[in-house]
Amino acid sequence: MNEYDTFFKSAFSVDNVIFGFDEGDLKILLIKRGEPPYKGLWALPGDLVYPNEDLDTAAERVLEELTGLKEVYLKQVRTFGEVDRHPMGRVITIAYFSLIKISNYIVTPASFARKAKWHSISEVNRLAFDHKPILKACFEELQRGIRSHPVGFELLPPKFTLTELQHLYEAILETPLDKRNFRKKILSMNLLIDLKQLQKGVAHRPAKLYKFDRHRYEKFVAEGFNFELKESRRKALTQVN
């Protein structure tokens, strides 16, 4: 037996953590596995990488094969390589994540994905393999990223209110934000264009409508920024008490 044979007995997989925003709620796309191991459990859309396939191509292929989603930008987050993470042998997995607008995509489960469904982040319980800590790691990456790069251009309607934008940030950060501070901060960045229009057909006092300044938005995406946000005073007092 060659001394290097042991090092070539590991397999590689990719797991896709697809976050979706829908009507003020942040969700995660999960599949129900139709075959062992963990048959019948919800899991992230993931599978093994072919020997002649690079990782990014594998992530795109697996996502499309299991959920029907394609042309989704996937960002590589980190690698998970615990020795016993897979019951059938040593499998090292690379996690990818994305944040999409749910209404722009149609989910169609196939292959060993018996079902594919969006779940509210707060309602996710047991998952197959070590997918719960993988989900947690990607969620934390998303939360860090929202403070240094703008989020919302692809997730909100073409015309939106400051309240809708704030609800998006609150859904991702999982905490209520100080309304006055958020509005002051976002408006000072000159990232939004005031459309000089008001909401229509609402029961409450109509709010101003805005859209993103595409040029400045893309500049912030490329260069980043420091977008520190204050939690609401009510939330802060609750934590202290």
Which pLDDT tens digit goes with each residue over 65-80? 999 999 999 999 999 9
Per-residue pLDDT reduced to its tens digit, 100-144: 999 999 999 999 999 999 999 989 999 999 999 999 999 999 998
Does the predicted TM-score (pTM) go above 0.95?
no
Helix 162-173 and helix 179-188: axis angle, to 10°?
110
Q: Which domains, from first to last, does the chain contain?
A: 5-145 (3.90.79.10), 162-240 (1.10.10.10)
First to last CA, the chain: 64
In order of 20, 87, 193, 229, the CA distances from 158 in angstroms are 17, 47, 11, 24
